[in-house]
Amino acid sequence: MGKFQFIKTKLPGVVIVEPTVFGDSRGYFMETFQAEEFAAAGIAGPFVQDNQSKSTRGVLRGLHFQKEHTQGKLVRVLSGEVFDVAVDCRPHSPAFGQWVGVTLSAENKKQLYIPQGFAHGFLVLSDEAEFTYKCTDYYDPSAEGGIRWDDADVGVAWPAVEGGPRLSEKDGRHRGFREQSFGFFERW
């Protein structure tokens, strides 16, 4: 038996990763990444950058993408709980414009792999959440883009949070899905 279960989602390439957790009265141990097993599941990397953020309840980060230096991301939650979303932005994909969401938490220990060619975002459901992710390319602030979190054409069914989502000023300025040109994702 492998150390991970790789669960395909309705979006080609987006995969839920469930690690095998070994626990007893002292706590637990798990591997969160193993290059050979991930490569065998179609998640080859290489990963070149790790990021971590901490946010409070109701913070919504996204929906972000990079126009150049596009990034595949392997995301997970270290503490707390988030609703994590991927949107297919690949113009030739049969799932173009569709989204998938999964609850990631410190308790369920699930991870989500989001390949290049997707927008990504998450909403914090717990009082606080620490979120970490591995990236397949380096972040380039001059190449960032985004889709409005509440775009009706994409129609993400975000969980309700008291007071509504809290966005950064930058995320509040993102344009809708139909207002974007995703030609830079042609090769994905």
What is the amino acid identity at position 67? K
Please give the mean pLDDT across all residues of the chain.
94
| Cα 108-15-188 angle, rounded to 5 deg | 150
Q: What is the pLDDT of residue 184?
A: 74
Q: What is the pTM of this model?
A: 0.94
Which are the catalytic amino acids?
Answer: 64, 133
Range of the domain at 34: 4-22+30-185
| Cα 127-133-136 angle, rounded to 5 deg | 160
- Chain segment 172-188, per-residue pLDDT in tens: 999 999 999 887 777 66
What is the DSSP annotation of 41-106? Answer: TT------EEEEEEEETTBEEEEEEESSS---EEEEEEESEEEEEEEE--TT-TTTT-EEEEEEET
User: Distance (Å, rounded) from C-alpha 55 to C-alpha 70?
Assistant: 24
Tokens for 71, please give them: 């990034």
Given the DSSP bridges, would you call strands 15-19 and 49-56 parallel, antiparallel or unpaired?
unpaired
Q: What is the pLDDT of residue 160?
A: 96
- Chain segment 113-122, per-residue pLDDT in tens: 999 999 999 9
Q: How many CB atoms lie within 10 A of CB 176?
A: 13
Residue 152 exposed, middle or buried by CB count within 10 Å (0-12, 13-18, 19+): exposed
The CATH number linked to 49 is 2.60.120.10
User: Distance (Å, rounded) from C-alpha 11 to C-alpha 14?
Assistant: 6
Q: How many domains does the chain have?
A: 1
Q: What is the pLDDT of residue 182?
A: 86
- Chain segment 46-102, per-residue pLDDT in tens: 999 999 999 999 999 999 999 988 999 999 999 999 999 999 999 999 999 999 999
State phi, psi for 179 to the nearest 5 degrees. Answer: -85, 0
